[in-house]
Structure 1
Amino acid sequence: MTVPSITPLALEDVFGQDPWWIILIKTVMIFVILVLLTLFNIWWERRVVARMQHRIGPNVHGPFGLLQSLADGVKLALKEDIIPKAADKAVFLLAPVLATVPAFVTFSVIPFGPEVNFFGTRTPLQLTDMPVAVLFVMAIASIGIYGIVLGGWASGSTYALLGGLRSSAQMISYEVGMGLALVAVFLYAGSLSTSEIVAAQDKFWFGLILFPSFVIYVISMVGETNRAPFDLPEAEGELVGGFHTEYSSLKFALFFLAEYINMATVAALATTLFLGGWHAPFWIDHLYSGFNEGYWPVLWFFGKLLSFIFLFIWLRGTLPRLRYDQFMALGWKWLIPGALVWILAVATIRAISLHGGIDREYLLIAIGIVLVLLIALSFWPARADEDEEAEAPAAPSRPGSFPTPPMPAGGAVRGAAEPLTFRSPTTTVPAGTTED
């Protein structure tokens, strides 16, 4: 089934024409869906991780423990609200709101389905759309960074401040890679409107055609949402709880809510831009055209969204946390240069195919060559570092010195045959012996 493309003029005709009560219903439904989705995702994460670790998970409150998240929310609401003496009270209270409100607003341009008959009125299953809808999502989502940074700064705690600074550096770094990953989508769709991008994927999903962009986006969205293995701003072993260390009660719940809604936002954006949005998966609409009509597409959309949520949970249950320098190097040294090279390749191939003419076979061959080059480049520096480390001579060690770990890239290393000793002002005692 071919979905007709929506031109910028048609956007004005389709969106903004609904009665006020339909707009109000859509707004309330988006709010309710996001809150219920957050409660479900928290329960689902606990159940899945418990299954991975051979535990039971929540199973008391409600059937299968489904009301456990609701019970936790009530508990947070009833807990004592504490504001530190050293905190800047106004900013301390404003920060959770700044983090939560943008998370809700970004869903206003996400298409849940095509036009349907809604209480006798034809309306799209989308609150609104605009010619620069994807840029709107990126701009509004970046405002949430201010809530995290200001929350860490206003807490009057060193640990919270360090967590806020980490989070800001992490989000800014991975937003660059995320934005570059979307450029190839804009080139193929010819638009920044979310509804037009979905309409452009009626035959092939961009996740298949632009697979490197899809991979870069998925890695960037995990870093953008501070999720494991990239949850450095909340590293409890180093920063206690990160930017929300001093928060409690409903203010902590707002930060928690913002994190899970941001997970749903990046998953919904990935579904919209790379997996055909609300289109039926595996092209089963060829069997029955009604799968892309009415309210069926809502099922496909949330199925794809929940698959990304499961990916978040799977990564948290299997991968250890990265070191901070490794994490930043991944973003700046690999994702961003790789995205730039891929954009250049896609733009060149797109220009040739549109103006000069190129067969699809040659197009696929060119994409394969680019992938091979990217994979080869990813292994090249690692091999060079290994060779440097292997050729680096070991520095001589002094008798009776303290043991030190080996330094990277040819730094001073301790001799392997040297016995472990401890120095004192008067004597040296070999390890494993005692002194009377």
Structure 2
Amino acid sequence: MLKIDVILFILGLLILILGVLIGVAFLTLLERKVLGYIQIRKGPNKVGILGILQPFSDAIKLFTKEQTYPMFSNYLSYYFSPVISFILSLMIWMLIPYYFNLVSFNLGVLFFLCCTSMGVYTIMIAGWSSNSNYALLGGLRAVAQTISYEVSLALILMSSIIMIMDFNLLFLNIYQNLIWFFFFMIPLSMCWFSSSLAETNRTPFDFAEGESELVSGFNIEYSSGGFALIFLAEYSSILFMSLLFVLLYLGGYNLSLFFYLKLSLVSFLFIWVRGTLPRYRYDKLMYLAWKIYLPISLNFLMFFLGIKIVLM
């Protein structure tokens, strides 16, 4: 019996990973098409039917290119940091509150915070081990930025946890049957969304890979498979943060078409922001995290704590 359970668990994991990778592939296609429309130019609609073959041709191109190594790089850490980054971004997906064949985390929120904290190290090591000034600067920026926004993310998350009094993400579904948390946490949900942008190094907070001043930041020395893994890790994080937004504020998790529409809408917002807003200034990014989001999230936390104490 135990053997069957293990086989089913591994099968469930493989299906999940496959689903995430296909989702990432088509998210990149959606992004390039949407940016094409925003910038009034052609998107990737030349390859095959509606550009469906584009993500697969990109993957083949990236993984068959020559892998280069900087001569003075720290070889092992340089080589393995994208791999670990990719593994971590897939590990977070174990949190998805599946109803079958997967782990039901009683402390899912803590697992999420642990995995996102570990993700900082992979970017830092990728920047440092390349032994390049641009890469190092990008890595340092990413560390400062990600650590700053993790504080506000954790505090914003605490407000939702206080509402359900549990660390299991499945309970978010039960408590949002009558009304979505979004309707009485609008400022917090907006803070969560912009913190997610900063956490995943997306425009307008893409300082770790600022092309105008850092060429490409921490991933500048990577080519071929290494770059592809960093790319996959970033986009799977975007998908996961979109999923988490839906879980926390837009009604929780259920296997319905409406759920996937909500997830697609939030992912689309990530792309829309990229096509619309210019890059922020770095000191303003830090000011936003410590002087605006931190006080807002702390105030809301105390407010919901007060409500909980009064109701109990």
TM-score, structure 1 as length reference: 0.69
- Of the three residues 68, 87, 106, the one matched with 2:54 is 68
Counterpart code for 1:100: F
Aligned position for 1:187: 162
- Of the three residues 143, 147, 153, the one matched with 2:118 is 143
Count the aligned residue pairs.
Answer: 311
1:145-160 to 2 correspondence within 5 Å? 145-160=120-135
For structure 1, the residue ranges without an aligned partner over 5 or more in a row are 1-15, 113-123, 280-296, 356-436
Whole-angstrom CA distance in 1 between matches of 2:234 and 2:30:
15
1:191-340 to 2 correspondence within 5 Å? 191-279=166-254, 297-340=255-298
Whole-angstrom CA distance in 1 between matches of 2:121 and 2:273:
27
Whole-angstrom CA distance in 2 between matches of 1:105 and 1:298:
24
Counterpart code for 1:139: C
Change (3 A) 1:304 1:126: farther
Report the secondary structure of 1:350's partner residue: helix
Whole-angstrom CA distance in 1 between matches of 2:286 and 2:120:
17
1:204: how far off?
1.4
Deviations 1:374-413 (A, max 9, x none): xxxxxxxxxxxxxxxxxxxxxxxxxxxxxxxxxxxxxxxx
Counterpart code for 1:62: G
Larger RCO (CA within 8 A; separation ≥ 6)? 2
Aligned position for 1:349: 307
Counterpart code for 1:204: I
Counterpart code for 1:188: M
Change (3 A) 1:317 1:34: same
1:163: how far off?
0.2
1:226: how far off?
0.4
1:261: how far off?
0.4
- Is contact 1:212-1:342 (8 Å) kept? no
Whole-angstrom CA distance in 2 between matches of 1:310 and 1:18:
39
RMSD (Å) for aligned C-alpha atoms: 1.6
State which structure, 1 or 2, has the greater radius of gyration over its C-alpha atoms: 1
Deviations 1:329-379 (A, max 9, x none): 111110011111111112112222x13xxxxxxxxxxxxxxxxxxxxxxxx
1:14-33 to 2 correspondence within 5 Å? 19-33=5-19
Whole-angstrom CA distance in 1 between matches of 2:75 and 2:257:
44
- Is contact 1:102-1:144 (8 Å) kept? yes
Whole-angstrom CA distance in 2 between matches of 1:298 and 1:168:
37
Whole-angstrom CA distance in 1 between matches of 2:10 and 2:258:
24
Whole-angstrom CA distance in 1 between matches of 2:224 and 2:256:
34
Runs of 4+ in 1 over 3 A off after TM superposition: none
Change (3 A) 1:299 1:125: farther
- Is contact 1:206-1:273 (8 Å) kept? yes
Whole-angstrom CA distance in 1 between matches of 2:200 and 2:26:
18
Identity %: 37
- More displaced 10-residue stretch of structure 1: 92-101 or 210-219: 210-219
Whole-angstrom CA distance in 1 between matches of 2:177 and 2:4:
26
Whole-angstrom CA distance in 2 between matches of 1:326 and 1:92:
31
Whole-angstrom CA distance in 1 between matches of 2:289 and 2:3:
42
- Is contact 2:9-2:101 (8 Å) kept? no
- More displaced 10-residue stretch of structure 1: 203-212 or 62-71: 203-212
1:197: how far off?
2.0
Whole-angstrom CA distance in 2 between matches of 1:209 and 1:18:
44
Whole-angstrom CA distance in 2 between matches of 1:110 and 1:38:
16
